[in-house]
Amino acid sequence: MVSLSQGARLPLDEEGGFGRVGRGVGLLVGIGGAALMLALGPQAGLSWPGWITLALMWTMVTFWITEAVPPAAAALLPLIVLPATGIMKAAPAAAPYADPVIFVFIGGFMIAKAIERWNLHARAALTIASKVGARPSLIVTGFILGAGAISLWISNTSTALMFAPIAVGVAKAMADAGYDDPKFGTALVLGVAYAASVGGMGTPVGSPTNLIAMGFLTEAGEPMSFARWSALALPIVAVLLPFTAWMLTRGLPKANAGDAAIGRKVLDDALRALGPMSKAETRVLAVFALVALAWMTRELLVKVPGLSGITDMGIAVAGAFLLFLLPSGSAQSPRLLDWRTAERIPWGIVLLFGGGLALAKGLEVTGVAAWIGDALSFLQVYPPWLIVGVLVLVTLVATELMSNVATLTAMLPVVAAFAKAAGIDPLLLVFPVSLAASLGYMLPTATAPNAVAYGTGLAPMGRMLSAGLKLNLAGAAAIVVMAAVMGGLLAV
């Protein structure tokens, strides 16, 4: 019988960092660089407020890269610097920290906590794997499809943390039953990690980076709906998930009838151990389905009398509220969600998101964004697809070395400024770059799902490097092709 809690202790850290020495260097470089900039004075074309904001950006990005201070703490700097220097009043400087997109993120994470609380994720993973097939390669494929599907709706990190212990339990149960191939366990945990990141691209709530991009586009006057994002991103997911399954299962030995019988027994035992679907699971699933349906059909719902003002934020918060309101039908807890469970969502990312938007606002009002765009305007002679390719590769390399959230938060003001100066639709650059921020598959420190997989002890560094490089290149190519083919659609 598979224990769904088996496995190594899984890391919860969102960031990579460069160790104690790196943090010390980051502190000196972040503060020292800003002090040097202020001592030298503004460069041609920039005012003092703009130069101060650029120095603030230097400090924040340096702190985010090196984790000289916790990234969420670094994200609070605009609340200190912008009002104190008179660049922005306190209320406008603080407004981005309560951006509506942040509440989409909060609501989505609370729904994810309810799914995890009632073990609905385990049932989904095992059911999908069972339906796909019982041979080892098909079990891996089933987990990849399951993790990818769940990650469309909840964060990459939550998906990996939910699915990894189940994958480890299945690998151990398969070994105990006679199928003892270490490549199987490696494929399972890497498949879960990679599928979590790939699936997270597909909808706005799948990854914090998607919501950051949507919030940034809204601030730039280019709002993007839930349905539109999904329509553009899901083709990428549909290409990369099968590629991930094919790549990770290629090295597995060809399975015989005995291996398939072992797999079938393991999956059946695990599903049997879960027992029949409880009332709480059914009710959480119903709320989840209603929220997902409302997000996807919001553009139709706003035409219904009395719902003209419905937003993605309102849908997310309403879904979370329902979970606090509805009875669970279980003696374990009276409601589907309680605050003790909900308060464990990653509030630090909320602050990081707000800090990035506040910095972007400061860069805009002081003219720094336009100045950066003008400095990069020489690139506009190149075709858009080539510019997209370069930006995607730069983002990919950066996100291997720092968190995807910090990477995107640092790059978006530059990318948007260049798009404006070059006369390119911001969507054509911001959207591909935001997807590229989810492409870090090579290093354990690149993304939280990678760290989760590595923390199980079943994913050797060499295998992660080789498989991650292939998936990085495939993802970059798919994003560039999407931008080239769908450029007209993005500009609609």
* Tokens found for residue 452: 């989760």
Average pLDDT score over the chain: 83
Query: Which of the pair, 178 or 464, is modelled with greater confidence?
Result: 464
For residues 474-484, one letter each, b for 16 or more C-beta atoms within 10 angstroms of the residue's C-beta and e for the rest, the string is: bbbebbbbbbb
Domain count for the chain: 1
Percent of the chain with pLDDT over 90: 27
Q: How far is it, in rounded angstroms, from Cα 283 to Cα 42? A: 59
Q: How far is it, in rounded angstroms, from Cα 199 to Cα 196? A: 5
Q: Which residues pair with 333 in a beta bridge?
A: 330
Residue 222 has pLDDT above 90, yes or no: no
Q: Between the ranges 230-234, 349-353, 486-490, where is the mean pLDDT highest?
A: 230-234
Q: Would you say residue 297 lies in a domain?
A: yes
Q: How far is it, in rounded angstroms, from Cα 403 to Cα 75? A: 14
Q: Would you say residue 162 lies in a domain?
A: yes
310 phi and psi, to 5 degrees?
A: -65, 140
Residue 296's pLDDT is what?
82
Q: Would you say residue 67 lies in a domain?
A: no
HSE, side-chain direction, 13 A CA sphere, residue 112: 27
**Residue 62 contacts residue 68 (beta carbons within 8 Å):** yes
Q: Would you say residue 128 lies in a domain?
A: yes
pLDDT tens digit sequence for 2-45? 444 433 333 333 344 567 787 889 899 999 999 999 999 998 88
Measured from the Cβ of residue 453, the count of other Cβ atoms closer than 10 Å reads 29
Rounded (10°) CA dihedral 301, 304, 307, 311: 20
Instruction: Match 């929220």 to its residue by tokens.
Output: 291
Q: What is the mean pLDDT of residues 236-256?
A: 87
Residue 41's pLDDT is what?
92
99 phi and psi, to 5 degrees?
A: -60, 145
Residue 81's pLDDT is what?
96
Task: Report how far apart, in Å, the C-alpha atoms of 21 and of each of 16, 26, 421 are.
Answer: 14, 8, 39
Query: Which of the pair, 369 or 311, is modelled with greater confidence?
Result: 311
Q: Would you say residue 177 lies in a domain?
A: yes
Residue 321's pLDDT is what?
96
**Which DSSP category does 277 fall into?**
P
For residues 299-327, one letter each, b for 16 or more C-beta atoms within 10 angstroms of the residue's C-beta and e for the rest, the string is: eeeeeeeeeeebbbbbbbbebbebbeebe
Q: What is the mean pLDDT of residues 213-241?
A: 85
Q: How far is it, in rounded angstroms, from Cα 166 to Cα 178? A: 19
Q: How far is it, in rounded angstroms, from Cα 199 to Cα 178? A: 32
Question: Which 3 state secondary structure label does DSSP give 335?
Answer: strand
Q: Would you say residue 170 lies in a domain?
A: yes
Q: Would you say residue 136 lies in a domain?
A: yes
Measured from the Cβ of residue 46, the count of other Cβ atoms closer than 10 Å reads 18
Query: Which of the pair, 469 or 23, is modelled with greater confidence?
Result: 469
Query: Which of the pair, 449 or 32, is modelled with greater confidence?
Result: 32
pLDDT tens digit sequence for 52-69? 999 998 998 888 777 788
Q: Would you say residue 264 lies in a domain?
A: yes
Residue 30's pLDDT is what?
93
Residue 18's pLDDT is what?
61
For residues 396-430, one letter each, b for 16 or more C-beta atoms within 10 angstroms of the residue's C-beta and e for the rest, the string is: bebbbebbbbbbbbbbbbbbbbbbbbbebbbbbbb
Where is 329: in which H helix or E strand? strand 327-330
Domain coverage including residue 201: 102-342
Residue 174's pLDDT is what?
83
Residue 486's pLDDT is what?
65
- Work out whether strand 327-330 and strand 333-335 pair parallel, antiparallel, or are unpaired: antiparallel
Question: Which 3 state secondary structure label does DSSP give 152?
Answer: coil
Residue 370's pLDDT is what?
74
Measured from the Cβ of residue 136, the count of other Cβ atoms closer than 10 Å reads 26
Residue 283's pLDDT is what?
95
pLDDT confidence of 364, banded at 50, 70, 90?
confident
Residue 385's pLDDT is what?
78
Measured from the Cβ of residue 381, the count of other Cβ atoms closer than 10 Å reads 8
Which of 225, 218, 216, 222 minimizes the C-alpha distance to 414? 216
pLDDT tens digit sequence for 394-440? 888 888 766 677 778 778 878 877 777 777 778 888 889 999 988 88
Residue 450's pLDDT is what?
85
Q: Between the ranges 6-15, 184-193, 372-381, 419-428, where is the mean pLDDT highest?
A: 184-193
* Tokens found for residue 305: 């009398």
Q: Between the ranges 245-259, 285-299, 445-459, where is the mean pLDDT highest?
A: 285-299
Q: Between the ranges 85-94, 104-113, 132-141, where is the mean pLDDT highest?
A: 85-94
Burial (0-12, 13-18, 19+ Cβ within 10 Å), 261: middle
Residue 491's pLDDT is what?
44
- What would the DSSP string read from start to end of 5-50? T-SSPPP-------HHHHHHHHHHHHHHHHHHHHHH-PPTT--HHH
Q: Between the ranges 114-123, 318-327, 354-363, where is the mean pLDDT highest?
A: 318-327
Residue 470 has pLDDT above 50, yes or no: yes
* Tokens found for residue 37: 């900039």
Q: How far is it, in rounded angstroms, from Cα 199 to Cα 150? A: 8
Percent of the chain with pLDDT over 70: 92
Query: Which of the pair, 492 or 223, is modelled with greater confidence?
Result: 223
Burial (0-12, 13-18, 19+ Cβ within 10 Å), 348: middle
**Alpha helix positions (H), 133-256:** 136-151, 156-177, 182-200, 208-219, 226-249
Query: Which of the pair, 492 or 246, is modelled with greater confidence?
Result: 246
pLDDT confidence of 459, banded at 50, 70, 90?
confident
Range in 37-41, 100-104, 210-214, 376-380 the model is least confident about: 376-380
Query: Which of the pair, 366 or 419, is modelled with greater confidence?
Result: 366
Can you say how many angstroms the Cα of residue 149 is from the centroid of all Cα atoms in its chain? 14
Q: What is the mean pLDDT of residues 448-474?
A: 86
Residue 78's pLDDT is what?
95
Residue 133 has pLDDT above 90, yes or no: no
Residue 4's pLDDT is what?
44
pLDDT confidence of 376, banded at 50, 70, 90?
low
Q: How far is it, in rounded angstroms, from Cα 461 to Cα 474? A: 20
Burial (0-12, 13-18, 19+ Cβ within 10 Å), 25: middle
What is the amino acid identity at position 398?
Answer: A
Range in 75-84, 327-336, 481-490 the model is least confident about: 481-490
* Tokens found for residue 462: 């060499």
